[in-house]
Amino acid sequence: MVDFLPFEGYRPNIGAGDSIADFVSPPYDVIGPEQLKALQSKKHNVTNLTLEPDADGRYRGSAQRLESFIAEGALRQDGPSYYLYDQTWDENGVKTTRRGLVGILRTEDYSKGNIIPHEETFSKVKADRLNLLRDTEAHLESIFGIYEGLGKDLDRKVDAAARLRYRYVDPDGVEHRYSQISDPEVIGEVKEKLKTQKMLIADGHHRYETALNYAKENPGDEAKQYVLCTMVSQDDGGLVIRPTHRLIDAGDIGETTAVKKISKAMRTEEASSVSDLKEKLPQHLFGMIFRSGKCLLLDNISEEDPMMALDTYAAQQKILYGIYKSDEGKSKISYDADIDSVEKSMAAKEHDAAVVLNPPKLQTIWDLAGRGKRMPKKTTFFYPKIWSGWVFYRMK
């Protein structure tokens, strides 16, 4: 059902004095100013391609830099290959590994039912990434998808065929291992196995939809119908999904008024402290911490809409929109996936309130997405992020 192919990728050619750390980076949309400055000090770092727009918002300079990287020999081209991307980290004291299979995915409309989105997207982000594609004619970062998997027998063959190309431990202690699969027999089996499967977009909705728009701009160019993609099996033991909490700057909406309205909109239970809230949170839809230190656990009173069983949606509709009117610009919402960071910022009274969420369940995401339901942005945070710069898909 999906067309997921090997490709002739361009990847870092590590020479004397070079390190793979000089080439790779986190995805473009999670890099802060100081980190970007450090990354871009490395001549061949991927951020010098993905986050260095021209004055007019185009990326002609990035296209020239990519050409020069190839001409200088900083990038080398492989023959037809898939790649394996393993990330290993400590998850609450347990050594955890997530494995991704990297190839190129044929883009198609969601209406065909083979490629399934789960989050809303915004056109401003897509316009910028479309300029990058138009000018570089290359996919420089991978989207992240979830699929059924290859099965144990084929997994073993893939393992045996993989040849390690890069190993890197990032500043957060995550070990990245990137391997190449070029055995024609194994490649053929993988390609055939994936023809019967569907894919849920885990991360990279904007990049996928941008790639689809770009493909439609170039209907006669077969190479431009594909997007660089890393797919992880739904049964992978390292498929960790974390919540992204909401921080509220309430504007003119006072805490007393907000709490009264919340108590009418939802069933509430007071928690004695943030620690108490975190301990009881799994038994409730979501929680809230207020500037005063007040903590509430919240549940729906009664709800027929199945989307209201999703904490991010209920919080958006009933709290962020319903009480704080963020959709009308009357309050500002920011996001933080680190609960310890949320706790510290609330203790420092940096925000008026915080919505604290439970980890999303993959089956819930599959079920709702399979029925065509789009979830609020930042419903899911798949940890760790897929880094960029390991391999590029050039479309010319």
Q: Residues 376, 382, 386, 392: is their CA dihedral positive or negative?
A: negative
pLDDT of 8 reads 99
- Domain segments of the chain: what residues? 4-241+382-394, 244-358
Other C-beta atoms closer than 10 Å to the C-beta of 144 total 22
pLDDT of 121 reads 75
Residues 6+ apart with CB under 8 A from 269: 280, 284, 296, 297, 298, 299
Q: Per-residue pLDDT tens for 184-231? A: 999 999 999 999 999 999 999 999 999 999 999 999 999 999 999 999
**Average pLDDT of the chain to the nearest whole number:** 95
84 neighbors 101 (Cβ within 8 angstroms)? yes
The CATH number fitting domain 244-358, selected from 3.30.360.10, 3.30.1760.10, 3.40.50.720, 3.30.230.10: 3.30.1760.10
Strands 143-147 and 226-233 come out as: parallel
Half-sphere CA count of 163, side-chain side, radius 13 A: 7
pLDDT of 125 reads 74
Q: What are the tokens at 298? A: 């919240």
What mean pLDDT comes out for the span 278-294? 98
pLDDT of 16 reads 63
Higher pLDDT, 132 or 123: 132
Is the confidence at residue 21, as pLDDT, over 70? yes
Inter-CA distances, 83 with 11, 78, 196, 251, Å:
11, 11, 20, 49
Q: How far is CA 37 from the centre of its chain?
A: 22
Closest to 136 measured CA to CA, from 48, 208, 216: 48
pLDDT of 390 reads 99
Q: Is there a cis peptide before residue 384, judged by omega within 30 degrees of 0?
A: yes
Q: Per-residue pLDDT tens for 151-178? A: 999 999 999 999 999 999 999 999 999 9
Q: Measured between alpha carbons, how far is 84 from 161 in angstroms, rounded to an integer?
A: 10
Closest to 269 measured CA to CA, from 287, 252, 282: 287
pTM of the model: 0.92
Is the confidence at residue 369, as pLDDT, over 90? no
HEC states along the chain? Answer: CCCEECECCEEECCCCCCCHHHCCECCHHHCCHHHHHHHHCCCCCCHHHHCCCCCCCCCHHHHHHHHHHHHHCCEEECCCEEEEEEEEEEECCEEEEEEEEEEEEECCCHHHCCEECCECCCHHHHHHHHHHHHHHCEECCCEEEEECCCCHHHHHHHHHHCEEEEEEECCCCCEEEEEEECCHHHHHHHHHHHCCCCEEEEECHHHHHHHHHHHHHCCCCHHHHEEEEEEEECCCCCCEEECCEEEEECCCCCHHHHHHHHHHHCEEEEECCHHHHHHHHHHCCEEEEECCCCEEEEECCCCCCHHHHCHHHHHHHHHHHCCCCHHHCCCEEEEECCHHHHHHHHHCCCCCEEEEECCCCHHHHHHHHHCCCCECCCCCEEECCCCECCCEEECC
Tell me the sheet residues that pair with 334: 247
Strands 175-181 and 82-91 come out as: antiparallel
Q: Which CATH class is domain 4-241+382-394?
A: alpha beta
Is the confidence at residue 24, as pLDDT, over 80? yes
255 neighbors 284 (Cβ within 8 angstroms)? no
Q: Per-residue pLDDT tens for 289-336? A: 999 999 999 999 987 788 898 999 999 999 999 999 999 999 999 999
Instruction: Give the confidence band of 374 by pLDDT, cuts at 50, 70, 90.
Output: confident
Closest to 147 measured CA to CA, from 36, 232, 33: 232
Same fold, 4-241+382-394 and 244-358: no
What mean pLDDT comes out for the span 253-267? 97
Q: Measured between alpha carbons, how far is 171 from 384 in angstroms, rounded to an integer?
A: 12
Q: Measured between alpha carbons, how far is 86 from 99 in angstroms, rounded to an integer?
A: 4
Closest to 62 measured CA to CA, from 71, 70, 53: 53
pLDDT of 265 reads 95
